[in-house]
Amino acid sequence: MTDHAPGPRDRLIAIALDLIDRDHPEDLSLREVARRAGLTSGAPAHHFGNKMGLLVACAEVAWKDLSLAMEGTDIDATPAEAIFHKARAYIGFALAKPGPYRLLMSRRFVDKSEFAVLSTWRMRAVQGVVDQVERALGPSDDHKFPYRRSVAMWSLLHGFVTLNLNEAISADMRDALIAEICECAVQVALSPAQSP
């Protein structure tokens, strides 16, 4: 059984992803998706039950895309270089695909109950970073310390792209800022705990 015949469900997902790619996920209209697929208003509900059902299906694809984009870093690199590259890949994905990125990060689109479905690719992306940080920091007394620093690094990257997507900071220094953020990401992830 080959898959060259996309099936109506996958066709709807593709259309929805196409719309999300340029617009805000919140603005996605089930009726618009149905219209583009040549169907009537109630058709999407049959396949996904819900608007959120469709968005969850789209989020699955998006998590896979993000995860793969961050895995593409070469192995032969120092820990700092590896994290720097991962950070760049993360920022690049978010800025290039604002719709899908927002879809991944907002709990308004993906309910807690549906969240488990996304765990595979999501965990793979998250764990990839945590592992890298843990390996780089080496053994420590506080075994939660690498996790906290991973969260801090993720916060830095996520905050930066969010502020950019919301045009909260001007775009003319964007390249310099991206470089600075990636440096800070390395610094945050790898510098040891400071004595208080």
Binding region for DNA (CB under 7 A): 7-9, 28-32, 34, 38-43, 45-47, 49-52
Residue count of the chain, please give it: 196
Tokens 């992830």 label which residue? 189
159 interacts with, out of a second copy, DNA, none, CB within 5 to 8 A per kind: a second copy
Among 47, 64, 106, 117, binds a second copy (CB under 8 A): 106
Judged by DSSP in three states, 96 sits in helix
Which residues, including other chains, have CB under 8 Å from residue 66's CB and lie 6 or more apart?
Answer: 90, 93, 100, 101, 104, 121, 125
From DNA, a second copy, none, which one binds at residue 32 (CB under 5 to 8 Å depending on kind)?
Answer: DNA
Q: Cα–Cα distance between 47 and 39 in angstroms, integer? A: 12
Spatial distance between the Cα atoms of 79 and 170, rounded to a whole number of angstroms? 31
For a second copy (CB under 8 A), the number of binding residues is 36
Candidates 31-39, 42-50, 66-74, 176-184: pick the segment binding a second copy (CB under 8 A): 176-184
Give which of a second copy, DNA, none residue 149 binds (C-beta under 5 to 8 Å, depending on kind): a second copy
Q: Of 40 and 127, which has the nearer Cβ to a second copy?
A: 127
